[in-house]
Amino acid sequence: MESATGSPAPSAADPAAPGDGLILDPNAYSAPHLEPGDEARMRATIEWFEQRGKVALKDADRENRWYSDYLEFQASEGIFSRFLTPARDAGGDPERRWDTQRICQLSEVSAFYGLAYWYTWQVTILGLGPIFQSENEAARAKAARLLDEGSIFAFGLSERAHGADIYSTDMVLTPNGDGFMATGGKYYIGNGNEAGMVSVFGRVDGIEGPDGYAFFAADSQHPNYELIRNVVNSQNYVSQFELRDYPVAASDVLHRGPGAFDAALNTVNIGKFNLGFASIGICEHALHESITHADSRVLYGIKVTDFPHVRQAFTDSYARLIAMKLFANRAIDYMRSANPEDRRYLLFNPLTKMKVTTEGERVIDELWDVMAAKGFERDMFFEMAARDIRGLPKLEGTVHVNMALVLKFMAGYLFNPDAELAPPERTLAPGDDEFLFRQGPARGLSKIRFSPWRDAFEPFAGVPNVARFVELAESFKTLLIDAAPGEDQQRDLDYLLTLGELFTLIPYGQLICEQAAFVGVPEDTLDQIFDVLIRDFSAYAVQLHGKTSATDAQQAWARGAIAKPVVDGERFDSVFGKVRGLAGRYEMRA
């Protein structure tokens, strides 16, 4: 089994270590599955933040100070250039490639110190998506050169009136000689103030439907690019800008027609996968701070971490966080092994964007019940975490959009698995994930096949709550056979969102088990994770029961799906001890 002991991503679990050795600890960072130069840059990033200190971190956050110092640091280390230049545009430099393993590592590490530092990296990835998917060699070469110079990038998709509804864009390109004149506005565009290239989505005037779509590259410093304002109260610059008769040369055009539409969707697949890893990084820092604070306090003569409700909150939040890490790191393998015949990543990608980030909110909420007023204090990282964790599922990719996508896979996943299809191997080896830039049209989702989901759970059949969870998953299949949603319910998104939450838990549990087998997660931790998932399943069953359109048969199923996890006091105490062991191990330098 490949392992990376001590690393914060696909590491081997260590039952003797606090947090099973799976929680990022900047004081003991190690990522031997990365190349030495990449691991060194991760360490350099950690050291940059630690030397700068928490006082400076919080002051910059409170004053909404643009992070030019961080961008100068990454430029000096060549981080964005090294990590975000695909091999075909790297000029033969083997250190520059698009490697999802190290990209996700940096997402976790940067968000550990604040969402703003992750955000500028994230929207740079999005801005590069349409460029590196393009056959415009000049534009790709320019992007590679700008990355090497330390530039950031932006993704000009959403608009004030339409959000990310790309069918309704008001960015209009009027033919002008060999090129176009672009006029229109974009809204909520990160890095729009300083991006070296802004990938802008629009439509060609006079051409209706998909044939009129276009992506082109704009320069944020051009006089016809009017930067209007920062639309958020943040260190990030999330811009509103207007193009006023902006000259678009033929060499600026990245995509025309349906290919522009596909480039937009595929860029989201590439870039927003990182949302889950940002959520993980934020939660890890918040967990360190929360357990250290709580374990040092005594109230009413009792240590805070001895209160039963506090122990429950920490144990549940820890179980959720480990589950997030297991799922997300296994999802990397599905991304990196994808090809035109294996597109299973199209299910696990939106789950990483949606499920992992909403779980991150729950982790912070559970920790906040312990932190209470301390979580509001100006010198605590937690005050940032409690605010920023909300943005990941809500601002970068709304849950209902991702759930609607996930539901397209439900029938094939549950009822038509391919017994000959094996789960992918681990993908820890360095490499260039070139398929991500040639994903092609986003259609044929119902034809995607999956390996039998039960196979992932079988090695853990002796873990009590894994076995009980599988029983609930089988009962969900029975619901879909015996009391399937009617035609009206299939158009009722409110009903379908709850049905989707129930379904989502099954592939979520599958990848948790697959990764647990790879990294050797202790049985007590895995049992506690599925204790939480069983309670979640029961809660969603109650929600389904209460839906206005729920039929008598569906309500009867829901009542039968309310289950209590297998209770084990020794297991609970053991898992809580792993959390408590983190107390005092890490605190950001002042």
CB distance 191 to 123 below 8 Å: yes
Helix (H, G, I), strand (E, B) or coil at 215: strand
Average pLDDT value for residue range 307-327: 98
Average pLDDT value for residue range 266-277: 95
Q: DSSP for 18-30? A: GGGG-S--GGG--
Mean pLDDT for the chain overall: 95
**pLDDT tens profile 97-107:** 999 999 999 99
Average pLDDT value for residue range 37-50: 98
The CATH architecture of the domain made up of 18-151 is: Orthogonal Bundle (1.10)
CB distance 353 to 401 below 8 Å: no
Question: With 0-12 CB in 10 A as exposed, 13-18 as middle and 19+ as buried, what is 482?
Answer: exposed
Q: What tokens does 148 get?
A: 């090497």
Give the Cα separation of 338 and 532 in Å (integer): 31
Q: What tokens does 311 get?
A: 């122990």
Q: What tokens does 406 get?
A: 């996930």
Helix (H, G, I), strand (E, B) or coil at 240: strand
Closest CA to 20 of 6, 31, 2, 30: 6
Q: 241 versus 403: which is more confidently predicted? A: 241
Cα 307 to the chain's mean position, in Å? 33
pLDDT band of residue 1 (cuts 50, 70, 90) is very low
Give the Cα separation of 358 and 330 in Å (integer): 18
Name the percent of the chain lying above pLDDT 70.
97
Q: Model-level pTM? A: 0.96
Helix residue ranges, H only, 153-274? 258-271
Q: What tokens does 163 get?
A: 């959000």
Identify any residues that bridge with 182 across adjacent strands, giving them in sequence order. Answer: 173, 246
Give the Cα separation of 247 and 147 in Å (integer): 23
Counting every residue written for the chain, the total comes to 590
Residue 6 pLDDT exceeds 90: no
Q: What tokens does 54 get?
A: 């928490």
Q: How many alpha carbons fall within 13 Å on the CB side of residue 355? A: 34
68 Cβ contact partners less than 8 Å away, ≥ 6 residues apart: none
Give the Cα separation of 298 and 227 in Å (integer): 52
DSSP code of residue 339: B
- What is the predicted pLDDT for the residue at 396? 53
- What is the predicted pLDDT for the residue at 163? 82
Return the amino acid letter for 465: N
Residue 438 pLDDT exceeds 90: yes
Name the percent of the chain lying above pLDDT 90.
93
Give the Cα separation of 172 and 156 in Å (integer): 13
Domain at 270-580, CATH homologous superfamily: Butyryl-CoA Dehydrogenase, subunit A, domain 3 (1.20.140.10)
Give the Cα separation of 429 and 348 in Å (integer): 21
- What is the predicted pLDDT for the residue at 306? 97
- What is the predicted pLDDT for the residue at 65? 98
**pLDDT tens profile 116-172:** 999 999 999 999 999 999 999 999 999 999 999 999 999 999 999 988 787 889 999
pLDDT band of residue 3 (cuts 50, 70, 90) is very low
DSSP code of residue 222: S
Closest CA to 574 of 519, 524, 516: 524
Q: Is 440 left (phi over 0), alpha (psi -120 to 50) or beta?
A: left
Average pLDDT value for residue range 452-472: 98
- Three-state secondary structure of 244-273: EEEEECHHHEEEECHHHHHHHHHHHHHHHH
Task: End-to-end CA distance of the chain: give it in Å, rounded.
Answer: 39
491 Cβ contact partners less than 8 Å away, ≥ 6 residues apart: none
Average pLDDT value for residue range 174-185: 97
Give the Cα separation of 31 and 430 in Å (integer): 13
Residue 487's CB is within 10 A of a number of other CB atoms, namely 7
Q: What tokens does 495 get?
A: 């009903």
CB distance 23 to 50 below 8 Å: no
Given the candidates 1.10.8.50, 2.40.110.10, 3.30.230.10, 3.90.650.10, the CATH classification of the domain at 155-256 is 2.40.110.10
Average pLDDT value for residue range 511-517: 98
pLDDT band of residue 9 (cuts 50, 70, 90) is very low
Q: Where are the domains of the chain?
A: 18-151, 155-256, 270-580
